Amino acid sequence: MLFNLYLYSKNFVIIFNVVNIQGDRGKVQMEDLSLQVIILLIAFGFLASFIDSVVGGGGLISLPALMFVGLPPASAIATNKLAATMGSFTSTMYFIRSKKVDFRIVGKLIPFTIVGAIAGAFVVKFIPPDVLRPLILVLLVLIAIYIIVKKDWGSVSTYKKMTKGKTFLFYLVILIIGFYDGFFGPGTGSFLIFAFLLIGLDFIRAAAAGRILNFVSNIVSLITFLFLGAIQFKYGLIMGLSMIAGAYFGSRFAVQKGVGYIRILFLVVTILLIGKNFWEYIHIS
C-alpha cells in the first residue's frame, strides 16, 4: 500500500542511518535463519496467503510473523510486500484461468486504482491518516452488518451493464478506494469486494476482481521497495514460496466451495479488521 510505503520508507531511512552510525555496513544485518524461523515463515506465510488469496487481510498474519522473527518494522513491511506479490500473482492467475475475472469491468478500473493510490500517498504527507480511523470503523461495521442481514446477497451474479451515471459513480468509488489504499490501507480488500457486490457480482467474481486490483497495487509498492533497498530477500523468498502454495490452495478451495465459503471468510476478516482498528484507535487516542 502506498500509504505504508511513505510511512515506512521514512522509518527505513532512520534505521538505515542508525546502522551507518554504528558502522559502515550500510544495511541491516540479519542472522542466518534457523530451522524454527524457516518453519514459522512457511507456516504463517501459507496461512496468510490462503486467506489473502480470497478476501484479503493476509497482512494481519504475515506482517506480525516477520516482525516476530526479528525484522524491524520497515524491513518487515517491504519483505512482506515481496512475499505478498508472489502470492497475489498466483491467486490472480488461478482466478483468471478459472474464468472468474471479467476484464471488461476490471481492466478499466486499474488506472483509477493506481491514480487514487498515488494521490493518497501524496496527501498523507499533509494530513495524519489516523483522522480516518473512526470513519473506517463505522464503514467496516456497516459492511459486516449488511452482509449478515442480507444472507443471500452475493450468492449469484446479477450484474447488468450500468448506465453512464452509475458507471461514473462506480469509477469514482474505485478511485476513492484506491486513494484510501494509498492514504491509509487496512480494510481495502473488504471495501473492494463490497464495491463489486454492489454492482451485482457474486462473491467469487467480486473476490477475483478485488485480487486483480490488489495485485496491481502490490506491484507498484514492490517496485518502490526495491528502489529503497528495504527488502530482506532471504526472508521474503522463503515466505513467498509458501505464499504461492497458500494462494493456490486458497483460490482453488474458494472456486470449488463457492460463495458460501467466501462469505464466511469475508465476514471473519472484516470482523478482525474491526477489532484491529478499534484496538489501535483506543490506544492511539
CA 219 → CA 50, 122, 216, distances in Å?
A: 19, 18, 5
Residues in the chain, total: 285
Task: Give me the pLDDT at residue 147, please.
Answer: 84
**Spatial distance between the Cα atoms of 192 and 266, rounded to a whole number of angstroms:** 11
- For 114-173, how does the pLDDT look when each residue is reduced to its tens digit (9 = 90+)? 988 888 767 756 777 677 778 888 888 988 898 888 877 777 778 888 888 999 999 999
Average pLDDT over residues 45-74: 88
Query: Using one digit for the tens of pLDDT, what is the confidence trace for 200-243?
Result: 998 889 989 999 998 888 887 788 778 878 789 999 999 999 99
pLDDT band at 19 (very low <50, low <70, confident <90, very high): very low
Confidence of residue 31 (pLDDT cuts 50, 70, 90): low
**Ranges 86-90, 130-134, 176-180, most confident:** 86-90
Of residues 195 and 218, which shows the higher confidence score? Answer: 195
**pLDDT given for residue 126 in this prediction:** 75
**Average pLDDT of the residues of the chain:** 81
pLDDT of residue 220: 79
CB 144 within 8 A of CB 267: yes
- Containing 147, the helix (H) or strand (E) segment is helix 133-149
Dihedral (Cα; 63, 65, 67, 73), 10-degree rounding? 0
**Most confidently predicted of 7-11, 56-60, 248-252:** 248-252
Please give the residue range of the domain that contains residue 203. Answer: 2-284
Provide the pLDDT for residue 11. 36
DSSP 156: S
Residue 174 — pLDDT band, cuts 50, 70, 90?
Answer: very high
Percent of the chain at pLDDT > 90 equals: 29
Higher pLDDT, 20 or 29: 29
Nearest residue to 216 via CA among 103, 129, 123, 97: 103
The total domain count for the chain is 1
Handedness of CA 81, 123, 278, 114 (dihedral sign): negative
**Using 50, 70 and 90 to split pLDDT, how confident is the model at 9?**
very low
Q: What is the pLDDT of residue 22?
A: 33
Q: What is the structure's pLDDT at 129?
A: 63
pLDDT-based confidence at 284, cuts 50/70/90?
low
